[in-house]
Amino acid sequence: QAADAFFAANRPVGLTFDDVTLATLFSDILPKDADTATALSENVTLSVPIISSDMDTVTESRMAIAMALNGGLGLIHYNMPAREQVKEVARVKRHIHGLIQDPITVSPKQSVGDVLDLIEAKNYDFRTFPVLDGGKLVGLLSGSTVRERYRSKNVGESMTARADIHTVSVKALEADPIKAADAFFTEHVGIHKMLVVDDEDHLRGLATFSDIERITSEISNRRRAARDSEFRLIVGAALAPVRLDDGTLDRDRIISHVSQLVDESIDCVAVSTAHGHTAGVGDMVRLVRDAFPSLTIIAGNVTSAAGVEYLADCGANAIKVGQGPGSICTTRVVAGVGIPQLTALHVAARGARAKGVKIIADGGITKSGDIVKALTLADAVILGGLLAGCREAPGEIMEINGKIYKQYRGMGSLAAMKSGSAARYGHNKNDTTRKLTAEGIEALKEVSGSLDEVLGTLVGGLQSGMGYLGAKDLTALKQNARYIRVSPAGQKESSPHDVIEIKAGVKG
């Protein structure tokens, strides 16, 4: 309601983050106790409401793994062949196995050479495999025997026999699998794989020592990774509205792509376009919703209540808001279209309330204070530029005049559109009769260290903001927000001033 009154008084002015500040309130909340958890749907919850953008200079598996370990979510971009994107998703889902319910197994009749070929073909980053015969556990092929020199040997003669393998019963894991796995590895010093079996000796799961160590240290550090119900990291992938030559959606290709992602247990897909309030994007969301009723769908981008309601009616769970606020965007310059981001979030929030869906603030966030302001209206934020300088972002590091940089480019830049993202901007990259009109630029970001550090600083800033507003969680942040319009002099006052800066402050 405070937002309604505030924006009504300022209509039709478009406001963005730096135009407003939030008023403080009495607080009995310490920043460290502010709970930043959010949900994008019934199935996807995050402990940190931050998502890394589905851009080809921001999110591939390495970034997505780091995001999920920090409690957020990474959206793998689509400027790569669909099968490569599926592999990227699989890399995230298999990263921390906690308990792998469906481990890759081999048979005693295979040769070590077959296993080496499998590792190569599937790009596995492990070399130890349970050996099954007729569904039953008969041995364990350890990494030390999976070598080129043993290529001609049989798995059966190379494996450690069943009698020599320590296993744990699936029943012993029911209450708290991580605690039980921790106890197993403490008891069996030197063993690095825990095989889980049922009463018939069927293999029911596998846990690795290093993953369990990492999980227990995360738990003791109170860092809550974002996981699915089977303890795997969560991940999303962007989908483009791929079209046939006649302009209609290529339904078979889209469904086959999403099926492969679902087979890898993807947690959500994002139908990512520059203009989401269109028949084409609506059709695409409906297509995916009809084929995959329980899959979490993010869609966008829109900047109106009607846009949110339209995509919600088509079946989206969470809607991206933002047209042209991004640090590499030129949509507003090129098309003369877009609404400053805080006003866009405000109108979009009305649509979200009407339909009971979530909204995600996408673009234009340059510091942690912007995240706090965005979350007074949205359920999560998407970051591009703030994460593009992290070690985990794809791309080469380059040195210019003693400083190190990474490339960061808009998905609507000419180079990115030629790599595949033209459909996001309503263009066809193979259409040589028309010139692609860029809506983004190619840029550089100074390398900013690891994602852990960058996200840690941003989440610290978010929790500070929540502390100032007496908000114990993000629902309270929305309820407690009171906005004050800032004058140009007030904006100047809000940043360091009248001093000679000798050490640049950490952005965020």
The secondary structure of 15-72, three-state, reads CCHHHEEECCCCCCCCHHHCECCEECCCCCEECCCEEECCCCCCCCHHHHHHHHHCCC
440 binds ligand XMP (CB under 6 A): yes
Q: Are strands 236-239 and 203-208 parallel, antiparallel or unpaired?
A: unpaired
Q: Where does 180-258 show beta strands of DSSP type E?
A: 193-197, 203-208, 236-239
390 catalytic per annotation? no
Eight-class DSSP state of 303 = -
Determine the Cα–Cα distance for residues 245 and 320; give it in Å rounded to an integer.
28
Query: CB-wise, 90 or 347, nearer to ligand XMP?
Result: 347
Query: CB-wise, 212 or 383, nearer to ligand XMP?
Result: 383
461 is in an annotated binding site: no
Query: CB-wise, 44 or 383, nearer to ligand XMP?
Result: 383
273 binds ligand XMP (CB under 6 A): no
Residue 368 in tokens: 């942690």
329 catalytic per annotation? yes
Give min distance, CB of 441 to ligand XMP, in A: 7
Give min distance, CB of 227 to ligand XMP, in A: 24
* CA dihedral sign of residues 401, 407, 412, 415: positive
The one catalytic residue among 329, 350, 390, 409:
329
Please pick, from the candidates 439, 458, 465, 471, the single residue that binds ligand XMP as defined by CB under 6 A.
439
The one catalytic residue among 62, 94, 232, 424:
424
69 binds ligand XMP (CB under 6 A): no
Give min distance, CB of 424 to ligand XMP, in A: 8
322 is in an annotated binding site: yes
343 binds ligand XMP (CB under 6 A): no
365 binds ligand XMP (CB under 6 A): yes
SS3 category, 82: helix
Query: CB-wise, 331 or 480, nearer to ligand XMP?
Result: 331
Residue matched to tokens 């603030």: 361
What are the angstrom distances between the C-alpha of 315 and each of 111, 117, 226, 279? 48, 42, 24, 13
If one counts every other C-beta atom within 10 angstroms of the C-beta of residue 142, the result is: 15
- In b/e form, how buried is each residue of 252-281, taking b as 16+ CB within 10 angstroms? eebbebbebbbebbbbbbbbbbbbbbbebb
413 binds ligand XMP (CB under 6 A): yes
Question: Minimal CA–CA distance to 269: which of 56, 448, 86?
Answer: 86
Give min distance, CB of 199 to ligand XMP, in A: 50
Q: Are strands 129-133 and 136-141 parallel, antiparallel or unpaired?
A: antiparallel
491 is in an annotated binding site: no
371 binds ligand XMP (CB under 6 A): no
Query: CB-wise, 56 or 211, nearer to ligand XMP?
Result: 56
Residue 151 in tokens: 């290529």
* Strand partners of residue 305: none
Please pick, from the candidates 363, 369, 465, 508, the single residue that binds ligand XMP as defined by CB under 6 A.
363
Question: Minimal CA–CA distance to 463: which of 24, 30, 13?
Answer: 30
Query: CB-wise, 329 or 459, nearer to ligand XMP?
Result: 329
Give min distance, CB of 390 to ligand XMP, in A: 13
Q: Which residue is nearest to ligand XMP (CB)?
A: 440
- Please report, as residue ranges, which positions from 300 to 339 form the binding site for ligand XMP (by CB under 6 A): 301, 322, 324, 326-329, 331
Residue matched to tokens 């502390």: 467
463 is in an annotated binding site: no
276 binds ligand XMP (CB under 6 A): no
Instruction: Give the residues lining the site for ligand XMP (CB under 6 A).
Output: 53, 55, 301, 322, 324, 326-329, 331, 362-365, 382-386, 410-413, 439-440
Q: Which residue ranges are tagged as binding site?
A: 322-324, 326, 329
Catalytic residues: 329, 424
Q: Which residue ranges are tagged as binding site for K(+)?
A: 324, 326, 329
Q: Which residue ranges are tagged as binding site for NAD(+)?
A: 322-324
